Amino acid sequence: MTDSRYAIRNYQPADFNKFVRLNIEAEGLEPSGRSISPRGIAERLDRPNYSPEQNLFLVVRDNRIVGYMDVTPELTIGRIILDGWIHPEHRRKGLATKLLDYAVRRGKELGARVAQVNIAEDNAIASKALSRSGFKPVRRFFELKLDTVRVSGQDVEQAALGCCHLEAGEEDRLTGIQNRAFAGSWGYNPNTVEEIVYRTNLRNCSPEDVVLVYDGDDVIGYCWTGVTCEGEVIGEGEGRILMIGSDPDYRGKGVGKKVLLAGLAYLKNKGVGTVGLLVDSENKVACGLYRSIGFEVSRRNLWYEKPLD
């Protein structure tokens, strides 16, 4: 039973500053790499097809926010993605179960078929809470890391030849290749041009971060890069390969490797020393490509799922 001193309610715009403070606390206690700047959090709450007033639930005690559960609808593929955190001082009080109940109820209102949660494989506390609420592990992803010193400068610079960068106004090209590359892939929610425009214009992001490879006038591969950093010095952050894909008609022709190396060249020129990415453990081709470049497993994540229908 949840302690009566706690209240769970929907987010309101007046909660913003307190919600920022909670995110700063969370990142200090249990680092995740997500943005904790006010601007970064404001951008997260303002993402397309999302309403924080409807999809973000807060745990409040003594006028202080001590936990939350975020529900991201991806209704094209019939799912909601859950993301939450409770301050360690307020755990083991039934709050996680209560928040999951709120999220599941919201998912049913939206007409979603399943709720999914992504956690670190060694997160025993979250695993137990999810299991108690009827969630089961369904997929394993690898977090891979690469020290850019291990990558031949000649190889990445050679790969970058003939590649170019996305320009503002070309978001439909990226939307098209991304949706073709990942059609039918587990957990992939087809993007819209509106979502691509939003994501390429976030803080510390730009269309230039997307490297494209062409065959004539057709985009046949892309590598979407990024840098995680809270400050202004890019070189102090970690490089990320956010997404990489190639047109299904060009697979097996070296397009993926070429655009990956071109993306690494772009990040290396920005001064980053480490590059990370996530990959589905069941995508053997992608795992083999990354390992051939020198990426190594640094962490394993599990996706948990609960049917809602």
pLDDT tens per residue across span 134-184: 999 999 999 999 998 887 766 777 777 778 999 999 999 999 999 999 999
Residue ranges per structural domain of the chain: 7-112, 143-301
Q: Is 216 left (phi over 0), alpha (psi -120 to 50) or beta?
A: left
The H or E element that residue 60 is part of is: strand 56-61
CATH code for residues 7-112:
3.40.630.30
Same CATH fold assignment for domains 7-112 and 143-301: yes
- Residues ≥6 apart with Cβ < 8 Å to 91: 125
Cα–Cα distance, 304 to 117 (Å, whole number): 5
For residue 215, count other CB atoms closer than 10 A to its CB: 13
Ranking 2-6, 64-68, 90-94, 294-298 by mean pLDDT, the lowest is 2-6
Q: Please name the helix (run of DSSP H) or strand (run of DSSP E) that holds residue 199, with its range, or none.
A: helix 193-200
Alpha carbon distance 231, 233 (integer Å): 6
Q: Note the pLDDT of residue 234.
A: 44
Q: Is the pLDDT of residue 76 over 70?
A: yes
The CATH fold assigned to 143-301 is Aminopeptidase (3.40.630)
Q: What is the pTM of this model?
A: 0.91
Query: What confidence tens digit (pLDDT) does each residue in 252-309 have?
Result: 999 999 999 999 999 988 888 899 999 999 999 999 999 999 999 999 999 999 999 8
The 10 Å Cβ neighbour count of residue 4 is 6
Residue 50 — pLDDT band, cuts 50, 70, 90?
Answer: very high
| Average pLDDT for 109-117 | 97
* pLDDT tier for residue 229 given thresholds of 50, 70 and 90: low
Q: What is the pLDDT of residue 233?
A: 45
Residue 53 CB neighbours (<10 A):
11
Cβ 187 vs Cβ 116: under 8 Å: yes
Which residue is listed with tokens 């039934």? 94
